[in-house]
């Protein structure tokens, strides 16, 4: 019998969570996976394309090729290319015959506009980091520690019940005392539950998170408008007429007024514009869908922790409108679920409870751990049949004897 009790004590000691080594603050993720992917795409794509654009510029040298007159020397041809690249004015004649010019400045500032887009797309992430990340970090550290401590308190409660049973306390009387304590909520977790309830009346984190995504949507829309309004206007303008009667050639009479020029990097400009426009248009619905997820509760984590005694945020209908800080915290708890050590333990117990034939007799982690510790407890009968008989046999006795004790009997 003593070996069986010692084995039960060892099993309960192993079920306790060890104290975390080091600080958890360094391992917490303060960005959701979807936000991180969107930031990587919106910032990384323009930087990648601008690097390709600059590499193309450095490898090819001149970005423009003008067809100078045949009698021009090499230096004069280079001068014509430089003048036309500096001006980037397309000179044409309308139907009446009047001269008109159109600026192609978008092609000249194209690589630098990509840098501006990349910097602008990083602003929502900076807003979240400096406005809400520190507060969220404190909330996550406190809640994770309290959840693990609540699990440990439940295990220590079972250890205390085992010691009482070893000291000669009647198992049925001990179980009735425990059931009475549960009904009167002696085992509730007031600090954690009230903190989570208080977060339902706070809207700072959710406000910053919504503002971040709205700012990102605005920047995506502004970028698409810029691409559609300015880039489409010159999307097929790879050739243009450039006047060269400026500067040193202004008074020369033997040269033509304009020469045809062709842009060397125009294919890169077209491909880059299409890539950025298509990707940013596709990211818009993704961000909107991610925002709509805030309109419903993520109850998966709280439903697991319902196995703790008197932890019933869900069963007591304490959850109100999901658009508050608590819902944001639950989303980030799911993202940092590897840091919540008690979650995996309780998930296993929930799975084992669901596959048991008498799962209606297992409400909390205390019920399950008393079975694993080898206690023989008669649960109090609250629901009797109409004829006064006992309920079904599965709900009468929760019994699990260690193998050694059975062999001795």
Gap between the Cα atoms of 37 and 123, Å rounded: 15
The per-residue pLDDT for range 351-391, each reduced to its tens digit, is 777 766 555 566 676 766 676 666 554 444 443 333 344 33
380: DSSP letter: P
The pLDDT value given to residue 152: 81
The per-residue pLDDT for range 265-313, each reduced to its tens digit, is 788 888 888 999 999 999 999 999 999 988 888 777 778 887 777 666 6
The per-residue pLDDT for range 108-126, each reduced to its tens digit, is 888 889 999 999 999 999 9
Q: Is 92 inside a domain boundary?
A: no
The pLDDT value given to residue 24: 61
Q: Which domain holds residue 178?
A: 2-45+106-233+266-339
The pLDDT value given to residue 130: 93
103: DSSP letter: E
3-state helix, strand, coil in the chain (%, to 5): 65, 5, 30
The pLDDT value given to residue 362: 67
Gap between the Cα atoms of 182 and 190, Å rounded: 14
The pLDDT value given to residue 289: 93
Average pLDDT over residues 34-62: 84
Selection from 23, 16, 29 nearest residue 338 by Cα: 29
Gap between the Cα atoms of 158 and 153, Å rounded: 9
The pLDDT value given to residue 355: 67
Contact 220, 284 (CB under 8 A): yes
First to last CA, the chain: 10
- Which of 57-71, 153-167, 188-202, 383-397 bottoms out in mean pLDDT, i.e. has the lowest? 383-397
Contact 80, 259 (CB under 8 A): yes
Burial 179-214 (b: 16+ CB within 10 A, else e): eeebeeeebbbeebbebbeebbebeebbbbbeebbe
Task: For residue 400, count other CB atoms closer than 10 A to its CB.
Answer: 12
Residue with tokens 């709509």: 292
- For residue 96, the SS3 value is coil
The per-residue pLDDT for range 6-31, each reduced to its tens digit, is 555 545 555 566 666 555 656 788 89
- How far, in Å, are 12, 169, 172, 352, 406 from residue 400 at the CA level? 15, 18, 15, 15, 10
Crossing angle of the two packed helices 341-355 and 365-372, in degrees rounded to 10: 70
Q: Is 409 inside a domain boundary?
A: no
Q: Is 239 inside a domain boundary?
A: no
Share of the chain above pLDDT 70, in %: 65
**What backbone torsions phi and psi does residue 44 show, to the nearest 5 degrees?**
-75, -35
103 beta partners: 89
Q: Is 378 inside a domain boundary?
A: no
Gap between the Cα atoms of 170 and 377, Å rounded: 9
Q: Is 147 inside a domain boundary?
A: yes
Gap between the Cα atoms of 235 and 227, Å rounded: 10
Q: Is 330 inside a domain boundary?
A: yes
Gap between the Cα atoms of 9 and 5, Å rounded: 6
Q: Is 240 inside a domain boundary?
A: no
Gap between the Cα atoms of 332 and 294, Å rounded: 12
Number of domains forming the structure of the chain: 1
- How far, in Å, are 196, 225, 299, 315, 386 from residue 312 at the CA level? 12, 50, 12, 5, 31
Q: Is 289 inside a domain boundary?
A: yes
Contact 258, 243 (CB under 8 A): yes
């Amino acid at each position: 019998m003593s070996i069986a009790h010692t084995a039960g004590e060892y099993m309960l000691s192993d079920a306790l969570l060890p104290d975390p080594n080091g600080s958890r603050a360094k391992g917490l993720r303060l960005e959701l996976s979807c936000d991180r992917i969107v930031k990587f795409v919106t910032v990384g794509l323009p930087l990648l394309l601008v690097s390709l654009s600059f590499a193309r510029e450095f490898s090819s040298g001149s970005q423009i090729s003008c067809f100078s007159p045949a009698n021009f020397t090499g230096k004069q041809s280079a001068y014509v290319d430089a003048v036309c690249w500096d001006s980037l004015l397309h000179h044409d004649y309308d139907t009446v015959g009047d001269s008109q010019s159109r600026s192609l400045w978008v092609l000249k500032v194209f690589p630098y506009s990509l840098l501006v887009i990349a910097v602008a797309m990083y602003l929502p992430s900076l807003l979240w980091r400096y406005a809400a990340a520190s507060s969220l970090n404190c909330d996550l550290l406190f809640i994770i520690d309290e959840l693990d401590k609540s699990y440990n308190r439940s295990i220590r409660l079972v250890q205390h019940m085992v010691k009482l049973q070893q000291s000669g306390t009647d198992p049925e009387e001990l179980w009735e005392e425990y059931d009475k304590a549960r009904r009167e909520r002696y085992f509730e977790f007031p600090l954690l539950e009230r903190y989570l309830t208080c977060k339902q009346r706070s809207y700072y984190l959710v406000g910053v998170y919504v503002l971040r995504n709205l700012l990102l949507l605005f920047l995506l829309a502004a970028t698409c408008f810029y691409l559609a309004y300015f880039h489409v206007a010159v999307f097929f303008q790879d050739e243009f007429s450039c006047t060269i009667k400026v500067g040193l050639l202004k008074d020369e009479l033997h040269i033509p007024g304009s020469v045809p020029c062709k842009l060397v990097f125009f294919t890169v400009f077209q491909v880059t514009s299409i890539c950025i426009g298509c990707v940013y248009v596709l990211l818009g619905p993704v961000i909107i869908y991610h925002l709509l997820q805030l309109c419903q509760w993520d109850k998966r984590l709280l439903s697991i922790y319902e196995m703790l005694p008197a932890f019933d945020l869900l069963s007591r209908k304490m959850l109100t409108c999901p658009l508050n800080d608590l819902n944001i915290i639950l989303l980030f708890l799911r993202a940092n679920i590897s840091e919540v050590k008690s979650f995996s333990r309780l998930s296993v117990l929930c799975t084992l409870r669901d596959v048991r034939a008498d799962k209606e007799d297992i409400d909390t982690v205390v019920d399950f751990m008393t079975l694993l510790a080898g206690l023989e407890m008669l649960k109090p009968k609250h629901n009797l049949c109409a004829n006064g008989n006992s309920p079904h046999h599965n709900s009468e006795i929760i019994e699990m004897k260690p193998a050694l004790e059975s062999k001795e009997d």
